[in-house]
Amino acid sequence: MSMDLLLLSNSTMPQSDYLEWTADDILTFVGDHKKVLFIPFAGVTLSHQAYTDKVQGALPSLEIKGVDDFEEPSSAVQWAESIFVGGGNTFALLNKLHTSGYFDLIKNAIQAGKRYVGWSAGSNVATCSIRTSNDMPIVCPPSFEGFNFFPIQINPHYTEAVVENHGGESRLDRLREFVALNEEPVLCIPEGVGVWVQGASLELKGKYASKMLQKNGRLVEIKHNQSYQIGALQAM
């Protein structure tokens, strides 16, 4: 079964409401699969209910339920036609997915054809591992492995901006350290970009250019609104 994924870099653009920049894309992507289970575990300083309400408020035409609306994770996943995973802290998210029992259930459901939308931390966990998250490891999940729905590492909120007079590593410094020690390339997606994955192909939607960072440290710009085979992107 081919997987349908929408992996977004971020939730909020300046001067616009929560998820507003991508709401049309989310609705098109979801289509008739409007019964959505929302996973709020990345929201460390926000209650599950408050986070779920925020997402429902941004997407009123969908029927969104949170994890606290169900007694058992298995009934939540069974009820859902689509699963949305919100942003926040990626380590907290992955840890809670494991300790709550949701990890394997979601993995199986998406592999069986339910739709997956993730933003930021929710995009990180959809890949093979969370090693290219920007977050601090504030908790220790049992493993850094993600759902592996998408076989390329993602760096969300990608920026090449450097802070003047700041001695710490830039984003690119950190990502180049990753590719120096690992084989996998990294898909670097700036704010306002969504990766639409349909089976073995994908399209990048958004105004700003994404880049592939290769093992040798080479950065290759990816054209938007054009279809790519995932394998071709990995080999770029």
Give the residue numbers annotated as catalytic, written as ranges: 120, 135, 157
Instruction: Count other Cβ atoms within 10 Å, centred on residue 194.
Output: 25
- Interface pick for ligand ASP out of 87, 118, 141, 146 (rule CB under 6 A): 87
CA 122, 127, 131, 132 dihedral sign is negative
Selected from 7, 8, 42, 67, the binder of ligand ASP by CB under 6 A is 42
Nearer to ligand ASP, 73 or 87 (CB): 87
The reply on whether position 118 binds ligand ASP by CB under 6 A is: no
Per CB under 6 A, 9 contacts ligand ASP: no
Question: Contact with ligand ASP (CB under 6 A): which of 35, 65, 107, 157?
Answer: 157
Give how many residues touch ligand ASP by CB under 6 A.
12
Among 43, 66, 73, 88, binds ligand ASP (CB under 6 A): 88
Q: Is 121 in the site for ligand ASP (CB under 6 A)?
A: yes
For ligand ASP, which residue of 82, 90, 127, 153 counts as binding (CB under 6 A)? 90
Pick the closer one to ligand ASP by CB: 81 or 86: 86
Task: Select from 127, 179, 189 the least CA-distant residue to 156.
Answer: 189
Query: What x/- string results for residues 123 through 142 when contact with ligand ASP is judged by CB under 6 A?
Result: -x--------xxx-------
Q: Which is nearer to ligand ASP, 42 or 67 (CB)?
A: 42
**Position 156 contacts ligand ASP (CB under 6 A):** yes
Residues that bind ligand ASP (CB under 6 A): 42, 87-88, 90, 120-121, 124, 133-135, 156-157
